[in-house]
Amino acid sequence: FFLQLQQAALEVFAENNTLSKLQLGQLASMESSVFDDMINLLERLKHDMLTRQVDHVFREVKDAAKLYKKERWLSLPAQSEQAVMSLSSSACPWLLTLRDRLLQLEQQLCFSLFKIFWQMLVEKLDIYIYQEIILANHFNEGGAAQLQFDMTRNLFPLFSHYCKRPENYFKHVKEACIVLNLNIGSALLLKGVLQSASVQPPATAALNEVGIYKLAQQDVEILLNLRTNWPNTGK
């Protein structure tokens, strides 16, 4: 209605030459600003509602992951001692919660909103798993292998329906798993390079060589120190 009224006014004034070109331009420009405030409000509401939904699901997943945080990563059997690797029992509750919420919200939200939702959620999950689970524990060879199995074979695939390479949205977790699961020779070599590197380029090149692009040198050194399977000569 407002746009129709504005257009009619423009036509009348143009016919009667009662407005200057500047005034006509100002009146015409109103067309793009009539609903600007309303559109901005809707955008803010959309962002606020998505943020609240992400926070709600994230809290549910965190609550379900309490036992997983306390997993005995330090004393798990090595992969060679297991006939078949399987998902950690303590990972089932939070992965099931995550799966169910993703399926539910995929049905309830339109495609564009759901895409924003899961990407916001992944960002929070990546930081949470990295800081609250990985950095808060120490890992023997079996623990590191189990963590990698849980992440790469169970967590990441939950998002494979929404993107081709879900692991790229979990950069902290993916690269932490790489560091924790380096064979002992490569880990010793990397540790030596990082400790002796006086300038950044050599350290960066060494990190890139093993697939580390997101984590900083200091982060990798911390992760290496979380490993417990060092030989006596490496201590």
Q: For domain 88-227, give the CATH number.
A: 1.20.58
Instruction: Check: CB of residue 75 under 8 Å from CB of residue 140.
Output: yes
Q: Which residues contact 128 (CB under 8 A, 6 or more apart)?
A: 58, 62
Is residue 13 scored above 70 in pLDDT?
no
Residue of 232 and 179 predicted with greater confidence: 179
Kindly report the pTM of this predicted structure: 0.82
Is residue 12 scored above 70 in pLDDT?
no
